Amino acid sequence: MIELDGLTKHYGDKVAVDHLTFTVRPGLVTGFLGPNGAGKSTTMRMMLDLDNPTAGSVRIDGEHYRRLTDPLRSVGALLDAKAVHGGRSAYHHLLCLAQSNGLPRRRVGEVLDTVGLTPVARKRSKGFSLGMGQRLGIAAALLGDPRVLLFDEPVNGLDPEGIHWIRNLMKNLAAQGRTVFVSSHLMSEMALTADHLVVIGRGRLLADTSMAEFIRGNSRSYVRLRSPEAERLRDVLHAERIAATEAADGTLEVDGVPSERLGELAARHGLVLHELSPQQASLEEAFMQLTAESVEYHAHDGEPVGGGPAEPVPPGVAAGPGGWGGDWRKKGS
Ligand SMILES: Nc1ncnc2c1ncn2[C@@H]1O[C@H](COP(=O)(O)OP(=O)(O)OP(=O)(O)O)[C@@H](O)[C@H]1O
Ligand SMILES: [Mg+2]
């Protein structure tokens, strides 16, 4: 278990992490999401005592990292896969870690097997591909057979096979009762991996919710209607007390009414439809809406990034009952 209590980090005037309080529980994969610069890596560094908090505290299985007698046996981490001496082989990199931490030599062979690097174990790591480097970093994290595991963006730059492998590894580690905390910018990736979700923006907690709850609250469907007789269509819907919102491109969006009923209604009134399409609000859009105000680094290509008005807002995501007003939000926000 990892417990954060008011964890805060300032770099001069910059508030990188702002009063974060949440608990990462064992037996689950907890996804840690936020846009670039949200404070994910800073939070993880403080968990490992690589950075001093300005205020607040973080405990690993009830202890401050500094008090852990055998840190590698308690918590394993992959923060930066490139933090390896390139002249050393994978085997010697791990052996060095094992020997300096009082871990048995046999663990080196075991973790090399787990991550699939045994065939290249004697090769210098500077020749490793990005995926091999990530695997070596994960092997180091697993070396002490720790109960708590932290991974900072482990799938960055990996091919689909590598992503699939890491996803299964995390799930298996959690199924063994370990605490697994993994950061990402990708909501869609986390939806497939994480059981629980912690979202931050500009260092602040935005959501602390189960993945199932997040999906339930944000993957509501709606129907898009396009007609050359938009005015009449609006009147017909209005007469049936069906609420429709008009998107920027002139199409109508109807929430909570099956497309069959809408199609039959249009037919009854002899209305021509050019489009009648059920839509699903994507979790990525939901995540962008949630973090829109806290995105620091915008691309300047003429279009706003991070949930700006250029994209029509899916009704399932818009503020209101069942949308963003759900009870999964951070308490007190
Ligand atoms: N050593 C440092 N000195 C000054 N500012 C820092 C330092 N480390 C981080 N920051 C700032 O703190 C903020 C949070 O950075 P952090 O790296 O924790 O974000 P992140 O969520 O991991 O981002 P990314 O998704 O890009 O990895 C950023 O604005 C960053 O510029
Ligand atoms: Mg980071």
Q: What are 247-269's pLDDT values in tens digits? A: 888 899 998 899 999 999 999 99
Looking from the CA of residue 42, the nearest atom of ligand 1 is 18
- Give dist(CA 171, CA 327) in Å, integer: 26
Q: What ligand is nearest to the CA atom of residue 184? A: 1
pLDDT digits (tens, 9 = 90+) for 174-200: 999 999 999 998 888 888 899 999 999
Global model pTM greater than 0.85 = no
**Ranges assigned E (strand) in 176-314:** 179-184, 196-201, 204-210, 221-226, 244-246, 252-255, 275-280
- CA-CA distances (angstroms) from residue 234 to 237, 238, 240, 251, 271? 5, 6, 10, 11, 11
Distance from the alpha carbon of residue 199 to the mean position of ligand 1, in angstroms: 16
Distance from the alpha carbon of residue 153 to the mean position of ligand 2, in angstroms: 7
- Give dist(CA 255, CA 232) in Å, integer: 19
Looking from the CA of residue 51, the nearest atom of ligand 1 is 1
The number of angstroms, rounded, from the C-alpha of 157 to the middle of its chain's C-alpha atoms is 15
Nearest partner of 148 among 208, 78, 90, 101, judged by Cα: 78
pLDDT higher than threshold 70 for residue 311: no
pLDDT digits (tens, 9 = 90+) for 145-162: 999 999 999 987 788 888
For atom 10 of ligand 1, the residue with the nearest CA is: 16
For atom 31 of ligand 1, the residue with the nearest CA is: 37
Task: Name every protein residue with a CB atom under 6 angstroms from any ligand 1 atom.
Answer: 11, 14, 16, 34, 36-42, 185
69 burial level (CB within 10 Å; 0-12, 13-18, 19+): exposed
Distance from the alpha carbon of residue 245 to the mean position of ligand 2, in angstroms: 38
